[in-house]
Amino acid sequence: MSKHKASRRMVRRRGRVGVLGLALGVTILVGGTAVGVVPQLKSDPASADVGSAAPSAIAKARIDTIVIPTPTPTPKPRAAAASVTTVAKVPAASGSGRRIVFDQGDQRVWLVGEDGAVERTYRVSGSRFNNLQPGTYAVQSKTRHAGAFDGSGTMEYFVRFTTGFSAPIGFHSVPRYNNGELEQTKAELGTPLSAGCVRQWMPDAIALWDWAPIGTKVVVTA
C-alpha cells in the first residue's frame, strides 16, 4: 500500500469520526437542552397556555387573591334644623295679667299667664254675626256637654263668658250635627262661621277648659 493511499484512508476515517462526534455532540446538546428546558417549562406558571380551560393552581391563586376596593359611601348632608314658628303677638289693647284673649279680626285665642307669657295660642272660628262686642268679660259657667240653641247639634267643653241676643256665648269644641258629623273642618278655623260662640278644635277646647276656672278674665278685641 502506498503512503498516498494510506494517507487518504486516514483522512476519511478522521472525517467519519469527526462527523460522528459532532452528531453525538449535537444529540447530547439537544438532549441536554430538552432535559433542562422541558422541566423548566412545566414548572413555570408564566409559560402556561393563556387560552387553556384549566389554569394552574398558582394561576388560580393569583386570580382569587385579587382585591377589588369597595367604594366608600358618601355621607348624606345633615338636614337643616326646622325653623321655629313665630308665636303670634298678643293684641296690645288686651290688658294685663292672667287672661284669655280673643281677637275677632285675627280669629285667634291666646291663653296668657300672670307674667304676660303666652302659654297657648291657636286659631278659632268666631261669630259670623255682629253679636259680640269688644270688651272685658269673665268666665261665668262651664258645661261639659251642651246643646245648640236651635237643637241642631251638640258641643263639648263649653266655657260661657257672656250672653248674646238670646243665647249664651262662650268657648267650646267644634259642634257636631245630630248625625255625628262635624259642622266644620280644622282647616276652616280662622274663619268666622258660628252663630255667636267661639269654636275650637278639640285639644284646644280641652286646654282652655282646664286652664280657665270660673272668674278668669276674658278680653275680646276687634
| Tens-digit pLDDT profile for residues 57-103 | 544 444 444 455 566 655 554 444 434 447 899 999 999 999 999 99
The pTM of this model reads 0.62
The residue written with cell numbers 376596593 in the block is 69
For residue 105, how many C-alpha atoms fall within 13 Å in the half-sphere facing its CB?
A: 5
| Cα–Cα distance measured from residue 128 to residue 193, given in angstroms and rounded to the nearest whole number | 5
User: Of 135, 131, 140, 124, whose CA–CA distance to 94 is shortest?
Assistant: 135
**99-221: which CATH number, 3.40.50.720, 3.30.70.20, 2.40.440.10, 2.60.120.860?**
2.40.440.10
The residue extents of the domains of the chain are 1-28, 99-221
Alpha carbon distance 95, 91 (integer Å): 9
Beta strand pairing status for 141-147 and 153-163?
Answer: antiparallel
pLDDT at 13 over 80: no
Q: Are strands 217-221 and 108-112 parallel, antiparallel or unpaired?
A: unpaired
